[in-house]
Structures are given as C-alpha cells and as structure tokens.
Amino acid sequence: MSSAIPVADRTVVKTCCSICGHNQCGVTVALENGIIKEITGDPDDPVSRGGFCPKTMASAQLVSHPDRIKTPLIRTGRRGEGGWREAGWDEALDLIASKLLQFKTESGAESVVMARGTNRGSWIRVFNRFANLFGTPNWTESGGAQCFTPRGLAQQITFGGNALEWPDFTNANCILVWGANTVATWAPKAKKLMEARRRGAKLIVIDPVQCNIASKADLWLPVRPGSDVALAMGMINVIISEGLYDKEYVERYCVGFEQLAERAREYPLKKVSEITWVEERLIAEAARLYATTKPACLNVACTLDEIIDPIQISRVVCLLGAVTGNIDVKGGNAYPRSVGQVSIDSNAFIRLDAVPKQVQDKRLGASEYPLLCTNLPINFPMAHWPAILRAILTGEPYRIRGIFLMGGNPLLSIANSQQARAALEKVEFLAVADLFLSKTAELADVVLPVSSWLEQDGLADSSQATYGTLRTRRKVASFGLSLSDIEIMCRLSTKLGLADFWASEPEYLDHLLQPLNLTFEDLRKGDGYVLGPMQYGHHLRDGFRTPSGKIELYSQRLGEWGSDPLPFFREPHESPYSTPELAKKYPLVMTTGRRVITYFHTGLRNVPALRDVKPVPVLDINRRTAEELGIAEGDKVAVDTPYGSIQLWANPTEGIHPRVIGVPHGWADEANDNLLMNNEVCSHGIGTTPLRGTLCAVRRLAQ
C-alpha cells in the first residue's frame, strides 16, 4: 500500500543524542518532509559505532509531544495550583533576573541556590561558572554526592585521573563490572563489552540483582547491598596472599603496598563471605580470574557513589586495578587524550575565584562535608542538598530565598521527598527550566521551555563516553519557543549583567573550539568530529598526578582530610548486623536507584513508546520470599521503611537474594523511592545519602 505513495523528500542527518547526557551516541535521523521518521544508531560514528538505546529512538516523540512546554510560563494564582500564563523570553528572564538580583542585594548572593539535575548536553561546568559569576557558593546538583563526585575524588586521590571511566573493552581479556548494568546505562560501552565477550573475554559482574549484563557473566557475585568494600577487600586479600598481584607494576608504579597487604589480611574469605552473603568459592574464583586474565578492565557506575562509604568503595575498586597492573595499560583502564579544546573541567573555567573566600565559607554543608563542599585541589565544590532543604525550612544558618533550577526534578530525585516538598513549597521564589511541567516545575513561579537534543546545535564532549573525541550535535527540528540550557544561561547572564559569560551559545561553542582553530560551523558542516585517540602508558612514563607521582594504595592525603588512608569496611548505618532490632521490623535489605533502560532518572514516563514497554514500576523480589509473603507476579505491594512507604508491582525472580529487594527510581507519587529514604545520616566527609543497603519490609496490598 505505502509503496504506492510517491517517495517524499527524504533527508538523513548525522547528530549525537543527549537524552541521557552521558553517552551522547552518534545517530542518523531520517526525515521526510521535515518530519522525523526514525532515529538509528550510526555504525559509522567513531565513538558509539551503532550502540544506542530506546530512549534515543523514542526521542522522536518529544518533538511532537502535546505536553511539552512551548513558551515561558509565569504562575497565576497560588503556587502549585496549576494556573499559568504564557510569556515571552524577555518578560520571563526579566522577572527571574530581578528576583535573583533583589535577593542578592538584600540577603547576599548565598541566599540564591543554583541547582541542576540532569545534563542535557555538556553544560555542568557552564552552569557552575554561571553560578560563580553570580556570586553564590550554593551551586549544587541532584547527583552531586550521589553521582560521580565521590568516585571522581577517589580516583583523583588514588591515581590522579578518572581512569575507571575509560575501560578499554576493545583490548581487554577480562572485564570486571562493579555495580553497573552497562546495558541499561552505557549502551556504547555495552556494545564494546559484548564484542569483547564474543572474542572470548571473561566477564565478572558484581550486582545484587542478576541484571542484563550479569546474565551474560562467567561469574556473577550477588553482593549484599552496601557490603561492597568488604567484598573488594576480600578479593584484594586473595590476590595478594596468593601472590597473583603484578609485582613489577606494584614496585615501579605504586606506593603503600605493604600497608595495603596488611589491611587486606583483615578480610579473610570466611569473614568476607559472612559479611557479603557471597560464597567463599565464588569470591576466590572471581579474584583469581580477574588477577590472572590480562589485560583486565574495570567498568563502574554511580552505584559506587551511593553506598554509605562511597569514597572507600571507589578506592578499593581502583586498587584492584592497580595491584593487578591494569591501570594506564592497553586493555585495562586508560587515560584518553583531549583533542585540545578549552577544558571545561577546571577551576579556571568555572571561575571559582569570582566567589570571595568569605562567601565560599558560607557554602551550605561546608562544616560537615568538607570533601563535597570546600575547595580542595581536586574537586568542584558544591552545596549539600539536605543542608539546603534544612536552611529553607529553618532559616539556619541563613535564609535561602530563591532557587534557579536547570534540568532537575529534586522533588523526586533527592532523598526524603517529604522534606523536599515542604522546602520547595516554602521557598520564596522558584524558577525551573525543563521540557515538561515536572513535579518540581508544578511548584515553580516561572518555568522556561528547554529544547530537546533534536532541537539543538552543540558539542558532544562528555569525556566518560567519548574517550576524548569531540563530536557535533546538529539541530534537526524546532519546538515552540524552546531554547537550549546553555542559550538560556547566556540570555539570563546578560539580564543579570554577569561579566565574563557568553552572549549566545554559538559564541560559547566557538570559544571552546578556538584552540583548535575551528569554529562550530566548520565542525557542523564537515565530518562533525575530531578524533581523540586512546593513549597508554603516559602516566607510567611521566608519573601519575598524585603527590608521590605514583598510584597511592595508601593515601596520606585522605588521612589529612580526616579519613582512613587505607580502605576499610564499615557496616551500613542500618543493616541486619548494625541495627538488629530495626531489622526485626524491617527484615529485607533494599537496593534502590536501579536503572530501567527506557527511562532516565525521573523523565520519559510520558513518552508513549517507552511507557508501553515498561508500564509500571517493578519490585525485584526473590520468588521464594514473595511466596512466603503471599505475593504473586504482578501483585501490587508496599515497600515500607521507618521513613515512608511506597507502592510497586511485584516481579518475583530467582535473580536476587531471598533477603534483598531491588527498587527502581525516578517514578512519581506513590511509587517514588525517595519517600523511603533518610537524608539525615550521610557519608563521612562527602555527605552521600546511602541508597544501596538500607532496611525495609514488603507486604502485599489489597489488589
């Protein structure tokens, strides 16, 4: 039938997705008469080589979605009531600028919080700079202490760079995945991983749930959530005590081996097995396979950032790579080279100097969480969300009057949603930039319409995914008055009179490319990419960027910052062992924050093609445990903690320990996992609210 229709005006555009902000997969977008027909992973893309996911594909439905925000909106009526009027950009930005400047004049710049959630593009540091130039120390992220910050610090401390982010799958003979469902969160990496599998590389996966990637593993270690440090130390103990470590590498490139070996002896297999609920045999086998199959690479994700000791776990995983001689080598974890554009990951770029020291000292959380909130040589300091919520609610240590939020939905995405709601309802002024009226945006005074990645020109330069290669996002559609996040910042910076920002996004993009003698237009019209090749052995030759110039198995610096220089396991603050009384009422151990491939954080539930494939929030629970509780597949169940209760649909499975449950995150209302979380007990130094390994109970609800 359709073959009778004359072939329409067809074009194919190459661009890079940014629906998750991290992977930035190269895709082809096929258009007919300007309408997007299909989006497909581009096998010729130099980075993702055809790897992509359902979120990218279904983004076509964002461009014609009836609920997208088309114009800036200004609240009419009471907050949260749902009354809005459409406005132009000038009016909306003037309103925001006048409020923010008023607060700054009357109460100091610190009375304004600038917060971000997800990264629709690569603008974290651009927003960081925007906040600093405005003068507030209270810039923060929903991720923040829960995502990358702890493991970034651990990597800087240990080997002066983020090698864990760059596994060299292509040349690895063994792959150790620690707490990442690579399939669901890193599609291009998963593609390379599966290619390595096909040519015979071994795969070890550490995850409480037998997730997609764990189902392909040679060895799956279902660790008790929150006990990961003990497991990793147990593996290091096997590797050292059986002499399987790389003696030459350790001698030449590491410091503190003797201290580490001594500490590791405190983690014999029997003890580790009791702590982690993983069989002794399996721990030993995994340690031996990993240490003796060279080269081996490590693949991690933000799970490491979400246990009670996030820096410790990231450190031990780094050390596993180090003692086996797999850091900065081909097939291990390496350090790709930037192609030489302006580096946005630097204190010079974010203009931290624009915030006077006495104002920086006021950063919320600074006294409790110095590793997160104070200016160390190796971090980008930010405010602590729980401290912000408390400040809004109590006025202590000072009043927070306004929040400017980009790409975030903290009402759902930060722990203790009950408190977040109270605070966001109370704050004097809230402005939100987003694609849709999110739960948070519903409470706003002003909402700004943001473009989707299909409606943006920009750069795809997230180093985690692109391994240094720089690529181009090409605009293929437009939607209402929406603008990119960066363009919004540029326009607002003009209204705020910020010096040293850019008047427009094209100007910013050209600035980044200037060292390459390129303009964005050159890149967009040409191939669209500049290759950043993998490099090996650079730090082995010239030294690691640590005080000793070597990989620091023992970190003096960590000791100076108030932590233990060596990894140690601490029982989670609530667990069957640390709080046995509580465990009588809440006998199951919960891991939350689990990712579902069709969604990104709190977004995309309203995209029909995605929602129909994953229609409800699903609880992973062991089949026998479910039986004992009278729960059948598809039953509606409640998950209870001392802090709250939510409702999910049961998925009884054998792929999880009988005393562990897996809870998805990002769902709204009665399925919002952050209603279950306590944000008062946070990690030492870094302020992480533990999301992996807390106590809960499950019960069947009336159907």
Q: ∠ at Cα 307 (657, 19), nearest 5°? A: 95
Give whichever of 644 and 658 is closer to other proteins, judged by the CB atom.
658
Q: Which stretches of the chain bind other proteins, using CB under 8 A?
A: 1-3, 38, 40-41, 50-54, 57-58, 60-61, 64-67, 183-184, 187, 190-191, 194, 198, 210, 212-216, 220, 222, 279, 282, 597-598, 605-613, 615, 622, 653-658
Give whichever of 182 and 688 is closer to other proteins, judged by the CB atom.
182
Give whichever of 279 and 507 is closer to other proteins, judged by the CB atom.
279
What minimum distance in Å lies between the beta carbon of 669 and other proteins?
10
Contact between 606 and 67 (Cβ < 8 Å)? yes
Contact between 131 and 501 (Cβ < 8 Å)? no
Contact between 365 and 383 (Cβ < 8 Å)? yes
Give whichever of 507 and 627 is closer to other proteins, judged by the CB atom.
627
Distance CA 182, CA 303 (A): 12
CA 132 to chain centre: 22
Distance of CA 338 to CAs 156, 464, 517, 644, Å? 17, 12, 15, 46
Give whichever of 198 and 357 is closer to other proteins, judged by the CB atom.
198
Strand partners, 473: 458
Q: Structure tokens of 227?
A: 């006990």
Distance of CA 694 to CAs 89, 227, 647, Å? 45, 11, 17
- Conformational region of residue 281, where left means phi above 0, alpha means psi within -120 to 50, and beta covers everything else: alpha
Residue type, position 666, single letter: G
> What order of strands is seen across the sheet that includes strand 458-460?
458-460, 470-473, 529-530
Give whichever of 12 and 348 is closer to other proteins, judged by the CB atom.
12
What minimum distance in Å lies between the beta carbon of 459 and other proteins?
23
Nearest to 422 by CA among 675, 593, 663: 675
> What order of strands is seen across the sheet that includes strand 26-32?
10-16, 26-32, 35-41
What minimum distance in Å lies between the beta carbon of 606 and other proteins?
5
List, in order, residues 6 or more apart from 401 with CB less than 8 Å away: 103, 107, 111, 112, 427, 428, 429
Distance CA 531, CA 30 (A): 25
> What order of strands is seen across the sheet that includes strand 174-178?
219-221, 202-206, 174-178, 296-300
List, in order, residues 6 or more apart from 486 with CB less than 8 Å away: 121, 123, 126, 458, 505, 508
Give whichever of 37 and 545 is closer to other proteins, judged by the CB atom.
37
Give whichever of 216 and 390 is closer to other proteins, judged by the CB atom.
216
Q: Phi first, then psi: what are they for 271, rounded to 5°?
A: -60, -45
Distance CA 77, CA 340 (A): 51
Nearest to 87 by CA among 72, 97, 98: 72
Give whichever of 207 and 640 is closer to other proteins, judged by the CB atom.
207
Which residue intervals of 242-335 are DSSP H helices? 247-253, 257-264, 269-276, 280-292, 310-323
Give whichever of 246 and 620 is closer to other proteins, judged by the CB atom.
620
Give whichever of 572 and 655 is closer to other proteins, judged by the CB atom.
655
The H or E element containing residue 488 is helix 485-496
Give whichever of 542 and 612 is closer to other proteins, judged by the CB atom.
612
Distance CA 100, CA 105 (A): 9
Give whichever of 2 and 517 is closer to other proteins, judged by the CB atom.
2
Distance CA 130, CA 104 (A): 15
CA 454 to chain centre: 22
Distance of CA 130 to CAs 214, 345, 377, 427, Å? 41, 14, 21, 21
Distance CA 678, CA 698 (A): 18
List, in order, residues 6 or more apart from 318 with CB less than 8 Å away: 154, 155, 158, 159, 163, 164, 327, 551
Give whichever of 52 and 257 is closer to other proteins, judged by the CB atom.
52
Please, how many CA atoms are within 13 Å of residue 453, restricted to the half-sphere of its CB? 32
Q: Three-state SS for 60?
A: helix
What minimum distance in Å lies between the beta carbon of 338 and other proteins?
26
Secondary structure (DSSP) of 638-689: EEEETTEEEEEEEEEESSB-TTEEEEE----GGG-GGGG---SS--TTT-PP
Given the structure tokens 């039953």, which residue do they identify? 635
Give whichever of 216 and 351 is closer to other proteins, judged by the CB atom.
216
What minimum distance in Å lies between the beta carbon of 65 and other proteins?
7
Give whichever of 215 and 514 is closer to other proteins, judged by the CB atom.
215
Give whichever of 484 and 625 is closer to other proteins, judged by the CB atom.
625
What minimum distance in Å lies between the beta carbon of 527 and other proteins?
22
Distance CA 265, CA 237 (A): 6
